[in-house]
Amino acid sequence: MSTNLFAKIPSVDSLLKRPGIQQLIDHYSRGFVLRQLDQFLAELRSKIKQGLMDSSELESATSMIEDHLTLVLQQRLAPSLLKVINATGVIVFTNAGRAPMAPDLAERVSEVATSYTNLEYDLKKGSRGHRDQHLEDRIKRLLDCEAATVCNNAAAAVFLILNTLSAGKKALVSRGELVEIGGSFRIPEIMVKSGAVLREVGTTNKTKAEDYEKSIEDDTALILRVHQSNYRIVGFTHRPSLEELVTIADKNAIPLVHDIGSGYLFRTQHPCLQDEPTVEASLAAGSHLICFSGDKLLGGPQAGVIIGKKDIVDRIRKNPLMRACRVDKMTYAALDWTLLQYEKGTFEKTLPVWQLLSTPAESIRNRALEIKKRISSRVLEVSIREGVSLTGGGSAPEEEIPTWLLAITSTRHSPNQLEDSLRSYEIPILSRIEEDQVLLDLRTVFPDQDEIVIEALTQFSTTA
Q: Please give the residue ranges that form the binding site for ligand PLP (CB under 6 A).
A: 153-155, 158, 181, 185, 226-227, 229, 259, 261-262, 293, 304, 394
Nearest to ligand PLP of 37, 283 (CB atom) = 283
Three-state DSSP class for 198? strand
Give CA–CA dist 172/259, Å, rounded: 13
Nearest to ligand PLP of 5, 99 (CB atom) = 99
CB 73, min distance to ligand PLP, A: 36
The residue number with the shortest CB distance to ligand PLP is 261
Q: What per-residue string of b and e applies to 63-101 under the rule 16 or more CB within 10 Å gives b?
A: eebbeebeeebeeeeeeeeeebbbbbbbbbbeebebbbb
Give CA–CA dist 464/181, Å, rounded: 42
Q: What per-residue string of b and e applies to 121-149 under the rule 16 or more CB within 10 Å gives b?
A: eeeeeeeebebbebbbebbeebbebbbbb
Is 296 in contact with 182 (CB distance < 8 Å)? no
Nearest to ligand PLP of 298, 438 (CB atom) = 298
Is 272 in contact with 399 (CB distance < 8 Å)? yes
Three-state DSSP class for 409? strand
CA atoms within 13 A on the CB side of 293: 18
CB 302, min distance to ligand PLP, A: 7
Q: Read off the amino acid at residue 22.
A: Q
CB 257, min distance to ligand PLP, A: 11
Nearest to ligand PLP of 220, 282 (CB atom) = 282
Nearest to ligand PLP of 174, 293 (CB atom) = 293
Sheet holding 380-392, edge to edge: 90-92, 380-392, 401-410, 437-441, 432-434
CB 189, min distance to ligand PLP, A: 12
Give CA–CA dist 459/375, Å, rounded: 10
Give CA–CA dist 117/42, Å, rounded: 48
CB 65, min distance to ligand PLP, A: 47
CB 411, min distance to ligand PLP, A: 42
Nearest to ligand PLP of 181, 254 (CB atom) = 181
CB 153, min distance to ligand PLP, A: 3
Nearest to ligand PLP of 391, 421 (CB atom) = 391
